[in-house]
Every structure is written in structure tokens, then in C-alpha cells.
Structure 1
């Protein structure tokens, strides 16, 4: 049976920990570099910066700072303040875990049309989450001559509580999102945007839940100081990658002119509606139900109402369609009338 507390085993585990951290650093740098064009679009102004993106950028680069700090602690050859270095790593690493959950929470708030009750509940949960993430110094490290910085003690109880709380938080966010999108109250059909958010939410939860579960198991086993935290960094990286990818997918989807809904159009989403251009016509859809007949009208509006290039349907035609009147009630009539109108113009 393995003696996990023996010096030989600690050296072996420390070596495995170092190799794993270097591999994860390379993986995350690859993730950052391959998606750097998205970040650059905000820097040069091709994409408009909005306040929720603060959490995206903080999540993305806080974890990078933490991984760089871990790499330094593993490769330093001269004596340094190891406790300060590991405190730095812990603060930025735990912040990345909390920010990953916040990024998903913002999507849930949007899905619930910015409901005050949902916002209040999630804010309370987030505050509890961060109080655990930033509670005290959970990892003790010191300089050992001939070895370098080494972890000497960990608070496994608090670390396990933090990761269990993270799993419950992610589960709560997923349930709220799934309930609102799977059973909308006003809209029976599900748009592509809804499917995107719902699918990404499921993927985020599954990956983050499994990663946090593995980390929690190692902490509860408490084999030794190294093995107790060996899965913490993989959990933080997994949560951050899937959360940031979900943000990028949604941002790229909406910026390409995809369908946008607001709370007044009968949708379950509360994103900002697309604005009309000041230099051209805008498109709007209105619906009316009269006498059991469902009529859908499509109109074009322009800021310059006197623009002779803008053509609108005749009021007589709309009146006849709404109140009946022979051939005008036939849907094919609108197609023929529309073709004749534009051909004669």
C-alpha cells in the first residue's frame, strides 16, 4: 500500500504536479492565442464594449496571471517569499473560478428578463461564493533548500466546501436557465438563440461540474498536501475555458445580425433589441388578432419619412385585409398587389 505521506512519495507527487501545471499552462496559452482576435476587436473598437464583458476579460486573464505565477513558483532557483507567491496564485485562481460562474449567471439574468427576484437571489449566492473563495490563506508554502517552493499544508475542509458550493451554484444557474428556456410562458417556439444559450449552458455545467467534482474528491481524500490540490487548477481552467467560449459564441452570434428579442415581444430573453439605422429603413413586425383571424403585417419605417424611395402598403389595402372584402382576404392577393405596386413605381 502506498504511503502517501512518505518523503519519497511527496517528491514523486511534486514532480507530477509540476509537469501537470506546465502542460496546463501550455494548453491555456493556446486557448488564449487562438481566440485573441475576439479580444482585439474590442480593443480597436470593431465590437462595442459593454459592462458584462468586464467579467469575461477578468475571468480570462486572471487565470492566465495565476498560471504564470504557478510556473514561476515551480521554476524559481533563488530563494523567494513562497507564501506571498502562493497567496497571489490563490487569489487570482479563485477569482477565475468565481468569475466563470458569474459569466453564466449574467446569461441567466438575461433569460429571466432581468427579474429583480432572480437578480437578488443570484447576487446573494455570488456574495456567498466569493466569501468562500477569498477566505483566509488556505495553502501554506515555504522555501526548502535544494527543492524550491513547496506546499506544506492545505485547509482541505474549506477548499472542499468552496468547490461543493461552486457545484451547487452552477446547478442552480443551470436549473433556472433550463426552466425558463424549456418552458417559456409567452412563446411556444424556441429560437436559434434560445437553443444556443440552452446548449451552451448544459455543456458549461457538465464540464464544470465534473471538473469540480474530481477536485472535491481529491481534497476529501486528503492523501497529502500536494495530491489534495492537484485537481484544483484543472477545474479552474475547465470552468474558465467553457465559460469564456460560451460568452464568445453568444457575442459573435448576436453581432452577426441574428434574431434579437426583448421582454415586450413575448420572448424569454431580455437582450437589447437591435437599433434602427439612422441612414436607412428599419424592419418591424407587428401582429393583430381580429375576429379569430391572425394577421401578420410587415412594414418598413425610415427616419426620413419624406424619402421618396420608401414605399409602404396602401391604407385601403390594409383596411380591406383587416375587415374583409372579397379577393383582398386571399393571401395570394398581397403577393400580386405587392408585385404590381413595385413594378409600376
Structure 2
């Protein structure tokens, strides 16, 4: 069995931690470029900006600043204020995780038609998570190590770190269960794979499951590096999953609710808003969904009576057409005309 506290093991774990941070930073930058058409559609005003997108953009870009600062701490050439650097890293990282869970919460509330019985409990759990993770931004004691020319975590409140991981995982699990129940009550005949991928349930499962590994490692307490080695993958995957629930939505009109997937709009008829609901936005026409596209075909029935008779013709609509004469009569007419000439 490996000695997790030996200098050799700590050196290997630190090297692996650095590689993981750089790898997931590259993965997330690639993800942002892959979904950059969302921002471009907002700039081109193809999408109307919603107030709850504030949490989306915070979690989408704060994680970049957090990882960039963390990578900078690995390549120091001179002493700096490591405590301030790690405080900013924890602040941006936890803020991205909080806003990711909040984005998932808004998606679930919209699926339940903003019922107060769903909104109030989820809002309470969300505020509790914000309180815990906000306190978790200031649990590290970091100093500059002249020997390794890097910032070293001297101490941290491991118990509080573990509580943060388990609280985040529990809240995401609650959101996943409530979202599944909301999808089941629609009863639109979708298969399991359609619910999993088309309705975005896979993103809730990713946001929940990816926090399990850092939560378990924080309980095992193998060494200080292993306690943090899975935090970056968990944060990146959670943010990617939460952002995908919004960026993958169709570009729809200003009067629509972007937090309801396009599949839901086509398969579920519009329903009246229950009396005990809270609105996230005000719609102009009072409807929840954009009306389904309809094709109206108009045909014109044209009859001969609709036309006026020509003044040069003695024919009227009520006259019978002239009967054709036989061939002999027509030939005699031709001969008379020839002789006249």
C-alpha cells in the first residue's frame, strides 16, 4: 500500500495535480469556443437577454479566471502574496459552482411552471448552499515556498471543505430528482433516451456525480494534495453541464421562455398558469409558450359568372356555345371566301 504522506508520493501527486489543472483548463476553453454561438446570438439580438442569465455568465467566465490564477501560481519566478492569490482563486471557483447550481435551479423551476411549492424549498436550499460555499472561500492558509518557488498550502479547514463538497452534491441531487419528477409529469410519450439527452437530464446527472469524487477524497484525507486534486475536474464539469442546459436551447422569440426546451414546446400543449406561481419574467401576450407553427391555406373558387362578358362578343354567360358545323359546311365557306378574293 502506498504511503500517501511520503515526499515521493507528495511530489507525484503535485505533478499530477498540475497536469490535471492545465488539461481541464484547455478542455473548458475548447468548450467555450464550441458554444460561443450563444454569445454571438445575444450580440446579434437573436436572443433577448434575461435577468437570470447573470448567473449563467458568472459561472461561465469566473471559472476561467480561477483556473488561470491557479496555473499562474505554478509558474512563479519571484515571491508574491500567495494568500491573496489563492483567496481570489477560491472566490472565483466557488462563485462559478454556486452560479452553476443556481442556473440548474432556475431550469427546474421553469419546468415546474414556477410553482411556489417548488420554488420556495429550492430557493431556501440555494441560499443555504451560497452561505456554506461563501464561507468556504476563506479556509486556506497559503504561503510562498522559496525552495520550490511556488505557493504552498500550509493548512486548511478540511472538515469545512468536506461539508462544502457534500452540500453541493446533495443540492445537485435534489435538483436532479425534482427535475426527473417534472419530466415524468409531462407525460408526452418520450422515451428514456429522449428524456436523458433531448430534455437535458444528462447534465443534471453529470453535475451531481462529478462532485462525488472530491467529496469522498476529502473524507479519506490521504494528503493535502489528494484532498484538492479532484476539485478542478468537478468544478469544470459542473459549470459545463449547467451552461449546456441554456446554450443548447433553440433561438426563439422574445415572448418565449428560454428555460423550457424546444422539445417541450412541441410536445406539450400550453397550459394555464396555476394561481400559486411566481413569474421569472413577464410575457407580453400572457402565454407560456410560443404558439405552434400553423399553416393556413386559402383557396379561391372561380366560376365563369364572376367575369363580365366582352362588349365585342355577343356571348353571355347564359348563352349556349355555338355548335360546330360539319366539314362540308366549313369547306363551302372557304370556297366562297376564295372566290370573293
Structure 2 counterpart of 1:206: 205
Q: Is the Cα contact below 8 Å between 1:174 and 1:201 reproduced in 2?
A: no
Q: How does 1:74-89 map to 2 (within 5 A)?
A: 74-89=74-89
The runs of at least 4 aligned residues of structure 1 exceeding 6 Å deviation read 253-258, 270-276, 282-285
Query: CA separation in 1, counterparts of 2:262 and 2:25?
Result: 36
Per-residue deviation at 1:154?
2.5
Q: How does 1:55-204 map to 2 (within 5 A)?
A: 55-136=55-136, 137-147=138-148, 148-184=150-186, 188-190=187-189, 200-204=199-203
Q: How does 1:36-47 map to 2 (within 5 A)?
A: 36-47=36-47
Q: Which blocks of at least 5 consecutive residues in structure 1 are unaligned?
A: 277-281, 286-297, 301-337
Q: TM-score, normalised by structure 2?
A: 0.73
Q: Is the Cα contact below 8 Å between 2:210 and 2:237 reproduced in 1?
A: yes
Structure with greater contact order relative to length (CA < 8 Å, sep ≥ 6): 2
Q: Please state whether the residue corresponding to 2:244 is helix, strand or coil.
A: helix
Query: CA separation in 1, counterparts of 2:118 and 2:188?
Result: 23
Which structure would you say has the larger Rg? 2
Asked if 1:343 is matched to 2:300, the reply is: yes
Is the alpha carbon distance of 1:273 and 1:124 closer, same or farther for their aligned partners in structure 2, counting shifts above 3 Å? closer
Per-residue deviation at 1:29?
1.0
Structure 2 counterpart of 1:249: 248
Query: CA separation in 2, counterparts of 1:251 and 1:160?
Result: 38
CA shift digits 1:89-117 (9 cap, x unpaired): 11111111111111111011111111123
Per-residue deviation at 1:11?
2.2
CA RMSD in angstroms comes to 3.2
Query: CA separation in 1, counterparts of 2:244 and 2:262?
Result: 19
Query: CA separation in 1, counterparts of 2:70 and 2:292?
Result: 54
CA shift digits 1:266-323 (9 cap, x unpaired): 9x9x8989978xxxxx9679xxxxxxxxxxxx897xxxxxxxxxxxxxxxxxxxxxxx
Asked if 1:34 is matched to 2:34, the reply is: yes
Query: CA separation in 2, counterparts of 1:199 and 1:164?
Result: 28
Q: Is the Cα contact below 8 Å between 1:181 and 1:198 reproduced in 2?
A: no
Q: Is the Cα contact below 8 Å between 2:47 and 2:251 reproduced in 1?
A: no
Is the alpha carbon distance of 1:214 and 1:200 closer, same or farther for their aligned partners in structure 2, counting shifts above 3 Å? farther
Query: CA separation in 2, counterparts of 1:237 and 1:143?
Result: 26
Q: Please state whether the residue corresponding to 2:151 is helix, strand or coil.
A: strand
Structure 2 counterpart of 1:14: 14
